[in-house]
């Protein structure tokens, strides 16, 4: 393994300790969501200081209300459709269409989360998902961290279903790292052996504990790594922020989605964008070392010319989308301007 030295980014914003629901059981998360409406009265008194998901309260005070999703349109549309319809309950087939988003193509049952598979009409989590979607319908618009030219299918879906303005303002990058995903020790070993056999230099980034007595840096500057011209591929669990970073720098993705809308983000990159090859899916499926090796070779070898060419095309599309020059404004820049114009128009201001 070649060791690559990279400057430490002293401006990096470290993840702060904060209260969150990471370790909260699902049943308590559901209770928390169900209890949220009871916060409306105190929210009315503290509106100038608080932000809440309830559009009716915002509208009561004449405040422009917006939903911001840090994910892509296709992935979020697929995720919402899967939750709202739970289509696996009405077929014995392993593959099926999403009832209100058939444009997404077939969904495999392995792309449904365990919570979806256990969902039903009276399931508390299913009910809370429907409630959240209703909140979207009452909003004044939707902001998505994506690019119009590459994610039109998902954006069109939300515009049609919500009947609201939808602005694609990507790419936005988080100042902190994506949440870690868990993978078994045996699967980690197979991945390591496959990488070793490929005889290519690679950077190995695994959250501690590693299970090995070695010294390692606690943080890898992912953006700097992906921007390096010698990087040939990126193995990712398909969290949207990481996928945006890879596509912005024209790096092919070897996807291993673990849960939630990662399955649909990977599907989007494979089938719609054409910049990803999926090597595994979920945490319960054992992927042989030989399969991992084959997928890596498909991207890194001569047969990967097509995907690399497509990556350059997507990179150029994203670059143009965020251009802001006197003679040219990209689609994402225009979307930001349109969003602020709509918000200020609500207050009777003109920009």
Residue 137's CATH number:
3.40.50.2000
Residue 292 in domain: yes
Q: What is the pLDDT of residues 76-131, one digit of tens each?
A: 999 999 999 999 999 999 999 999 999 999 999 999 999 999 988 888 889 888 88
The model's confidence at residue 240, banded by pLDDT at 50, 70 and 90, is very high
Pair (335, 314) in one structural domain? no
Tens of pLDDT, residue by residue over 149-174, are: 999 999 999 999 999 999 999 888 65
Are 240 and 172 contacting, i.e. CB atoms less than 8 angstroms apart?
A: no
Q: Is residue 48 part of a domain?
A: no
151 and 163 part of one domain: yes
Domain count, the chain: 2
Confirm whether 39 is domain-assigned.
no
Phi, psi (degrees; rounded to nearest 5) at 166:
-125, 120
Question: Is residue 16 included in any domain, yes or no?
Answer: no
Residue 230 domain-assigned (yes or no): yes
Q: What is the pTM of this model?
A: 0.78
* Contacts of 94 by beta carbon, 8 Å cutoff, 6+ apart: 108, 109
Residues 123 and 216 in one domain: no
Find the mean pLDDT for residues 252-276: 94
Domain check: are 162 and 190 in the same one? Answer: no
Mean pLDDT of 310-317: 96
* 203 vs 281 pLDDT, higher one: 281
- The domain of 102 spans 55-170+323-351
Give CA separation, 168 vs 144, 159, 273, 314, in Å: 5, 11, 16, 16
Same-domain status, 225 and 119: no
| Biggest alpha carbon–alpha carbon distance for the chain | 64
In a domain, 218, yes or no: yes
Residues 201 and 311 in one domain: yes
């Amino acid at each position: 393994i070649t060791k690559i030295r990279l400057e430490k980014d002293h401006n990096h914003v470290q993840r702060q300790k904060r209260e969150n629901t990471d370790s909260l059981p699902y049943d308590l998360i559901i209770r928390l969501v169900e209890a949220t409406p009871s916060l409306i009265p105190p929210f009315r008194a503290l509106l100038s200081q608080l932000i809440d998901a309830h559009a009716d309260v915002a509208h009561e005070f004449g405040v422009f209300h917006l939903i911001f999703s840090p994910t892509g349109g296709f992935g979020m549309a697929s995720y919402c459709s899967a939750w709202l319809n739970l289509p696996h309950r009405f077929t014995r087939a392993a593959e099926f269409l999403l009832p209100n988003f058939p444009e997404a193509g077939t969904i495999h049952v392995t792309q449904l989360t365990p919570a979806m598979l256990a969902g039903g009409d009276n399931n508390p989590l299913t009910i809370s998902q429907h409630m959240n979607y209703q909140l979207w319908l009452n909003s004044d618009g939707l902001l998505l961290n994506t690019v119009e030219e590459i994610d039109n299918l998902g954006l069109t879906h939300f515009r049609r279903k919500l009947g609201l303005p939808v602005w694609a303002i990507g790419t936005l990058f988080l100042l902190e790292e994506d949440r870690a995903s868990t993978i078994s020790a045996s699967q980690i070993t197979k991945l390591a052996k496959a990488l070793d056999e490929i005889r290519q230099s690679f950077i190995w980034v695994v959250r501690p504990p590693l299970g090995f007595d070695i010294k390692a840096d606690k943080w890898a500057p992912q953006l700097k790594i992906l921007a390096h011209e010698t990087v040939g591929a990126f193995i990712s669990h398909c969290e949207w922020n990481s996928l945006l970073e890879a596509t912005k720098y024209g790096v092919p993705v070897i996807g291993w989605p673990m849960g939630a809308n990662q399955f649909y983000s990977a599907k989007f990159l494979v089938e719609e964008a054409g910049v990803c090859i999926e090597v595994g899916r979920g945490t319960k499926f054992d992927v042989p070392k030989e399969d991992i090796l084959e997928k890596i070779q498909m991207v890194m070898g001569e047969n990967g010319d097509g995907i690399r060419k497509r990556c350059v095309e997507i990179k150029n599309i994203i670059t143009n989308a965020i251009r802001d020059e006197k003679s040219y404004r990209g689609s994402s820049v225009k979307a930001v301007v349109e969003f602020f114009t709509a918000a200020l128009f609500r207050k009777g201001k003109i920009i």
